[in-house]
Amino acid sequence: MSLDYRYCDKMIDDFEKVVKNPIKTKSKVFYTGVDLGTACVVIAVLDEEFKPVAGAYKYADVVRDGMVVDYVGAVQIVKELKEKIEKQLETELIYAAAAIPPGTDELDSGAIRNVVMAAGFELSNVLDEPTAANELLKMTNGAVVDIGGGTTGISVLKDKKVVYVTDEPTGGTHFSLVVAGAYSKSFEEAEKYKRDVKNHKELLVVLKPVVEKVSSIILRAVKGHDIDEIALVGGTSCLSGIEEIVEKYTKIKTTKPKNPMFVTPLGIALSCKQEEM
């Protein structure tokens, strides 16, 4: 049975609306998710009924391949977004959850945790990105594939339980490098060109080999696991038609929600607890 995206897409729709028009509420608690991505930092805030009430994001270059490379810059951006939302909601955001690419915990030495705490939050949960995404997707048997800027994180689920996680260094950065080379653009120009939906049809042809590389990573991760389908999330999955190439290569049904970019931050917010770790 195919994944039902109605709950996920409704949450994303509501989140996109509150990013523009936050909802001031008398909610007793707020569940906050901080997603420190390679290309974008996102904060999502839910009320006591787990409905989106505010959010903010900023494109940034403070994380590479899942590692914080500009600690001061990362703290500054999270702090700035936190203060902006607090002003909008006229309340203090205390607890936040965060996520890391699978398997990077030891390598990162808790840098993502430290960034969130240094920005003024009390950290209440840390989980891997594709597992966080599944808090929103509610997949039972399959693979959640989070194609971020620097890496592709994969969680394999059996009966709603994560049975395997992995993270590979191929993601949006590699897509942008291919675009930069093919169109003689700077990396920054390639990033902007890639984000414009109008260019996706022609870009899909150019980026097919990189998408197939990601598909081979997925196939390796799911080997030996009997899965029903693949769900693509993460900013790089916004590329129109990417799911068709992955499905053709893997021979496994592949789908994605309406806006894959906000799945993980909303999933992180859903994982937020109201006490410190």
pLDDT single digits (tens) 255-274: 999 899 999 999 999 999 88
Neighbours of 162 (CB within 10 A): 16
Answer yes or no: is pLDDT of 106 > 70. Answer: no
Cβ count near 72 (within 10 Å): 11
Which own/partner pairs from 242-246 qualify as long-range (CB within 8 Å, at least 24 positions apart)?
242/147, 242/204, 242/211, 245/204, 245/208, 245/211, 245/212, 245/215, 246/145, 246/211, 246/214, 246/215, 246/218
Locus of tokens 């709950």: 7
Identify the DSSP state of 88: H
Residue 164: exposure state from Cβ atoms within 10 A (0-12, 13-18, ≥19) = middle
pLDDT value at position 1? 61
Helix (H, G, I), strand (E, B) or coil at 102: coil
pLDDT of residue 178: 95
Mean pLDDT, the chain, as a whole number?
91
Q: What confidence tens digit (pLDDT) does each residue in 29-48 have?
A: 999 999 988 778 999 999 99
Residue 277: pLDDT band with limits 50, 70, 90? low
Residue 176 in contact with residue 190, Cβ under 8 Å? yes
Q: How confident is residue 65, by pLDDT bands cut at 50, 70 and 90? A: low
pLDDT tens across 219-251, in order? 999 999 989 899 999 989 999 999 999 999 999
pLDDT surpassing 70 at residue 121 = yes
State the average pLDDT over residues 144-149.
90
What is the spatial order of strands in the sheet that 122-128 belongs to?
Answer: 52-59, 40-46, 31-36, 95-100, 122-128
* Distance (Å, whole) CA 73 – CA 70: 5
Give pTM, 2 decimals. 0.91
